[in-house]
Amino acid sequence: MAGNRAECGASREQFAGYQALACDGDGTLTCRGRMAATTWRALEVLRASGRRLILATGETLKELADFPHLALFDRIVAENGAVLARPGGKARLLAAPPPEAFVRDLREHGVRALTLGQVIVSMPRRWERTLHAAIRRADIAWRVVFNRNEVMALPAEVTKATGLAAALEELGLCCDQVVGVGDVENDQALLRCCGCGAAPSNAVLTARRCADLVLPGRGAQGVVNLIHRLLEGDLPAPRRGRRPKH
């Protein structure tokens, strides 16, 4: 398979210095909004080791209101990198909200299933062409990002990697100290920027291709395996000179 991925057990120098885990939410840690007991126990053990936990998701804070065990996380990178918050704390916008004329244009062109965050604009994937056309008409520097059956629009410079960088600045960490895990298209920047990027076995092809590790187990099963390896110091050393990519 193309890319910089290495299968589990691959022979790259091991590294015991990872101090944080940055995880995608739905599909990676949860399934249909539920988190397995084995998953939250593994997250608790990781927290007890003194390491930090960061949730990096495309969802809005409103959508995360019912996310299970949210208090386990030190920081929440929401809206695909556009919003940073602490659980139960005040949110910080990392980008400007969408222009009102842009949102109005989408509605005037028939988009009804429209989800608006503080920055992000998302809708079912069938509206992709309408979304591209609205961005052109608004003449804004926004881009389109895919997330399985959804399509999202964000300022061009915003990714999960840029949101993670803001979270790490607050936590006093750098990207080389972080393991990132995600399973869909919008996780690619996250996986590339972390010292070690991992994807569950059922991740979409683009996520698996840019990950350093493809984990045994689907979804959260793969994350539990990753946490065990992180605690045992059994992960490959970070690749030097990696930078966030859009």
Cα 219 to Cα 26: distance, rounded to the nearest angstrom: 9
Model confidence band, residue 240 (pLDDT cutoffs 50, 70, 90): low
- 36-43 average pLDDT score: 97
* Class of domain 100-155 (CATH, top level): alpha beta
Please give the model's pTM, rounded to 2 decimal places. Answer: 0.90
pLDDT value for 241: 52
Cα 95 to Cα 108: distance, rounded to the nearest angstrom: 25
Give CATH for domain 6-93+159-236.
3.40.50.1000
| pLDDT tens readout for residues 144-184 | 999 989 999 999 999 999 999 999 999 999 999 999 999 99
Model confidence band, residue 206 (pLDDT cutoffs 50, 70, 90): very high
- 18-29 average pLDDT score: 96
- Tell me the Cα Rg of the chain: 17
pLDDT value for 184: 96
Q: In sequence order, what E strands does 139-210 have?
A: 142-147, 150-155, 178-181, 196-200
The answer to whether the CB of 95 falls within 8 A of the CB of 80 is no
| pLDDT tens readout for residues 62-118 | 999 999 999 999 999 999 999 999 998 999 999 999 999 999 999 999 999 999 999
Cβ atoms within 10 A of the Cβ of 126, count?
A: 11
The answer to whether the CB of 234 falls within 8 A of the CB of 62 is no
Specify the pairing of strand 6-7 against strand 213-215: parallel
Q: Where are the domains of the chain?
A: 6-93+159-236, 100-155
Q: Is the pLDDT of residue 204 over 50?
A: yes
